Structure 1
Amino acid sequence: MPEQAETLYQAVGGADALSRLSRTFYALVLADPVLAPVFADFTPTHIEHVAVWLAEVFGGPDRFTTELGGHQALLVVHQGLAITEQQRLRWMELMTTAVERELPPDELLRRRVMEYFDWGTRIARDVSAEPVGQDLGSPGPTPRWGWHGLE
């Protein structure tokens, strides 16, 4: 039996795998009539920023915190988007497709990754109901998600 990687970041295949996952996912999103309107202001750099965020969350380098503003910056970009539960669920469906295409065929790994996305999309939905500029308080450091969930 192979030894389990220490972090989800290692298990998914590192930065390259997360970049592929992000590219595959956003290709699906931008073609989707339910989600494309949420991403009206989408830029290609968004794909790389998401991959950097996921790398940090899954136990890789802390580049999102040190270079892109950390947890607070991530939350702020969701303000005012008014994400609906239907959009959140569609996001999860498309991410499931991307995970199946791009991540190793390890059931536990995929389940843990999708648990993070379920948790994170609920937060994004809730924050998206806040008006742009609303003080969100301090969310604390970038969360870390591992083999047992939120660490």
Structure 2
Amino acid sequence: MPDERSTDRSTTLYEALGGAEALSRLSATFYEAVLADPLLAPVFAHFTPTHVEHVAVWLAEIFSGPADFTARHGGHHALLTAHLGLAITEEQRLRWMELMTAAVEKELPDDALLRRRVVEYFDWGTKIAKDVSASPPGTDLGEPGPTPRWGWDGLA
């Protein structure tokens, strides 16, 4: 049984989960499953291999690592804009969560609280992505603010 006290809670989630290398593995494992999944593959019809690394960079920033997604890829607004028009269904969102949870279990340290916090972020974020995806491309999203940060207590 995973030990909820096995990771130093004074570290960021980014540090506790293993940094950029772990997030790159997580992203690669997840997208390998997504692209093979009949329900999700159509959502990623315009997928490119750089998507895997962009997701890892986004997650690093979310979990209090380097703010490279904001610096290099346009930050929170760009991420939300990329989801416009995808029309993600609840069934697709839940399948996405299943595949990501499996990737988390495979690629992240065996620490129940760490894994739970990471999966909680994905649940929160996929609900936002699903809502945004219902709007057509070009929709004015306004200014969503800075990239959120997720820590040991959830949304910081």
Kindly provide the amino acid, as one letter, of the partner of residue 22 in structure 2.
A
**CA offsets per residue over residues 74-99 of structure 1, 9 Å max, x none?**
00000000000000000000001100
Residue equivalent to 1:6: 11
Residue equivalent to 2:132: 127
- 1:46 aligned onto 2:51: yes
- Paired with 1:15 and 1:5, the residues of 2 have a C-alpha distance of 18
After TM superposition, the runs of 4+ consecutive aligned structure 1 residues lying more than 3 A away are: none
1:148 to 146, 150, 153: 153
- Paired with 2:88 and 2:144, the residues of 1 have a C-alpha distance of 19
Identify unmatched segments of 5+ residues in structure 1. Answer: none
Q: CA RMSD of the aligned region, Å?
A: 0.9
Give the 5 Å matches for 1:10-29. 10-29=15-34
Identify unmatched segments of 5+ residues in structure 2. Answer: none
- Paired with 2:14 and 2:29, the residues of 1 have a C-alpha distance of 18
1:139 to 141, 144, 153: 144
Do the aligned partners of 1:5 and 1:11 also contact (CA within 8 Å) in 2? no
Q: Percent identity among equivalent residues? A: 74
Residue equivalent to 2:82: 77
- Paired with 1:5 and 1:27, the residues of 2 have a C-alpha distance of 33
Kindly provide the amino acid, as one letter, of the partner of residue 20 in structure 2.
A
Kindly provide the amino acid, as one letter, of the partner of residue 129 in structure 1.
A
Kindly provide the amino acid, as one letter, of the partner of residue 19 in structure 2.
G
- 1:99 aligned onto 2:104: yes
- Paired with 1:117 and 1:56, the residues of 2 have a C-alpha distance of 14
Kindly provide the amino acid, as one letter, of the partner of residue 40 in structure 2.
L
Residue equivalent to 2:117: 112
Kindly provide the amino acid, as one letter, of the partner of residue 44 in structure 2.
F
- TM-score if structure 2 supplies the norm length? 0.95
- 1:37 aligned onto 2:35: no
Kindly provide the amino acid, as one letter, of the partner of residue 55 in structure 2.
V
Give, in angstroms, the shift of residue 6 of structure 1: 1.6
Do the aligned partners of 2:85 and 2:134 also contact (CA within 8 Å) in 1? yes
- Paired with 1:9 and 1:23, the residues of 2 have a C-alpha distance of 17
Residues matched between the structures, number: 151
**CA offsets per residue over residues 9-58 of structure 1, 9 Å max, x none?**
00100000000000000000000000000000000000000000000000
2:64 to 45, 55, 59: 59
